[in-house]
Structure 1
């Protein structure tokens, strides 16, 4: 009873004194990035950034608010890091099945530009999955380390779109389209593609796949025989990826940090930092909830995982997509 009266007194005081406490029930990622030292006390810094989930340039919206896209979050961290001269190395903790072709390519380019601007060394630490676009964004790294149980690979492109023309025919419903050119309705879900349209789609897929393949050749020294297997877009276990030349070594996150120190020529007691938008008690490097604060949700309505990825071309290993 006394506790309740005390709370009422405090709230009443705020009202009468004109003070309005800032209460952020539904964080939206607009809070500033906070630097947190996870370990070490040396002069130099190693930044750890998590690339977690399907790679997209589109923010998430729900009934209770919104959050920034993965591309926005990673690029904002890289921009902040580029202004800190004490950061000598970057560890990318990748746990992603990939995502959109353009979103993956943007992140790849952001990492390349970060390296060029800062001369910092980059090490990738792969977690559960680092496939397709998750591997694509790992390519600029000076060293790629897979967790012993990582799945990676899937070096290829997939074009996803719903097709319901058979269902429409069964239920006796049709959709009429007026168009200016015979291929304007290419990929339309309510009709099958024509042979010409299938060739066009295949040509686009080949172009995107060729870009991916060329980047693999540019960043990795892999024999032609192994590339032929890799370019079937199969996934590999961590050991299989090491044998194929897709990763340099197997290890854990602390091993990746040690490798980053070694490549950057800095002491092993260098400060390992992360950027978060909220402080977490007993935080660790394995916390990927870095994009926004976590608050008790009154309602959690997010059934996005039940739906297939949006229509389009993806560097994505579909079985692991969100």
Structure 2
């Protein structure tokens, strides 16, 4: 019997640790899935729940502490910068930093306001309307160098004021011109009366806006009040009064010997009148000579023709009190050209009013500007008798009661 079975050699022994590889059929690709990489589990957090909470709390606390420290540093720096921009004066702190008033560019012109009543300095106090401290304006002008600005412009709207404050500005203008060789120009809006004319006479050019009034070259002293035939006085802490049969009169000296000069219960003596009129004549002659010299107007014309009258721009220009009439924008462009600058590449800068932050630090005004007294029932302006109390001659036009109460 034939045995058709074929005999095959036994399989070779295999290592138990090795995988048995089965060759893939050349006609069918292998369907065996490829092994995927296994992700290692995250390491366990150190410590328990308390440790994790404590660590998170410490992180938040350190972050808040850093924020508070940074805020404190920024606030301190802001305070230092703010205080550095303030100047302490007898009338409270004032700002000295600048803001742009007109234009933009590399050329720089410094503008200084001369507005409201002109007082000498902060010791004269504050009036009902904001004013100007002449000595502080003079200090600003004296500190300017050729690097700070190429010219100075005075922006004027004033009824005048003290002779001392007005002359301080005028003298500082002359010192600036001599020290720097640069020009000072004036632009008048609304009014330049009396002390305003005195303060600006030394400028290179005086330009008026449309509709202004210029003039009032003179000095005044008073008012002096007289109660005629007093028969009684009445009053209280809140109200005072005088009863007379002859009425009440007030008198100004527009050009003594008694210790009670100005006593409203007696008339002024002729000797007192002559004494103070002589003093007024001295101040008036100095005022006339000052304007005559710097505006090239004959003194006799000032005394005999101009007097203490106010003039419209056209008439003021005819008399030589001003040089031209221009609006504000036209004037600034003119001032830039006069300073040798391109008007389109020039900015006009001025000392700015206090910001809200600076007000919190005690700033009440811009340096050079007198603050206005707060209005209210029974409020009396904190102004010295030198200005509002008929204690000195003034280069002022109008009623002092409008600014002094």
> Same fold by TM-score, threshold 0.5 exceeded?
yes
* 2:292 paired residue number: 217
Within the alignment, does 1:142 sit opposite 2:204 as a pair?
Answer: yes
Q: Distance in 2 between matches of 1:125 and 1:270?
A: 17
Q: CA deviation at 1:267?
A: 1.9
Contact persistence 1:277–1:292 (CA under 8 A): no
Between stretches 111-120 and 217-226, larger displacement belongs to 217-226
What SS class does the counterpart of residue 196 from structure 2 fall into? helix
The partner residue of 1:127 within 189, 195, 215 is 189
What SS class does the counterpart of residue 110 from structure 1 fall into? helix
Q: How large is the RMSD of aligned CA atoms in angstroms?
A: 3.7
* 2:389 paired residue number: 310
Q: Distance in 1 between matches of 2:282 and 2:203?
A: 24
Unmatched segments (≥5 aa) in structure 2 = 1-67, 235-241, 243-255, 357-364
Distance 1:279 1:78, change over 3 A: farther
Contact persistence 1:148–1:239 (CA under 8 A): no
The partner residue of 2:213 within 144, 151, 176 is 151
Q: CA deviation at 1:162?
A: 3.0
Distance 1:31 1:226, change over 3 A: closer
Query: Does 1 or 2 have the higher relative contact order (CA < 8 Å, sep 6+)?
Result: 1
Q: CA deviation at 1:166?
A: 2.1
* 2:351 paired residue number: 275
Distance 1:90 1:155, change over 3 A: same
Q: State TM-score, norm by structure 1.
A: 0.74
* 2:23 paired residue number: none
Contact persistence 1:74–1:107 (CA under 8 A): yes
The partner residue of 1:208 within 283, 287, 291 is 283
Task: Report matched runs for 1:41-52 at 5 Å.
Answer: 41-52=104-115
Between stretches 123-132 and 247-256, larger displacement belongs to 247-256
Distance 1:314 1:224, change over 3 A: closer
Distance 1:230 1:251, change over 3 A: farther
* 2:176 paired residue number: 114
Q: Distance in 2 between matches of 1:196 and 1:61?
A: 33
Q: Deviations over 1:160-198 (max 9, x none)?
A: 13323426x242799xxxxxx944333444422211111
Figure out how many residues of one structure are paired with residues of the other and give that number.
282
Q: Distance in 2 between matches of 1:277 and 1:79?
A: 21
Unmatched segments (≥5 aa) in structure 1 = 1-12, 175-180, 281-288
Distance 1:224 1:68, change over 3 A: closer
* 1:3 paired residue number: none
* 1:10 paired residue number: none
* 2:151 paired residue number: 89
Q: CA deviation at 1:272?
A: 1.5
Distance 1:270 1:137, change over 3 A: same
Q: Distance in 2 between matches of 1:223 and 1:155?
A: 13
Contact persistence 1:146–1:249 (CA under 8 A): yes
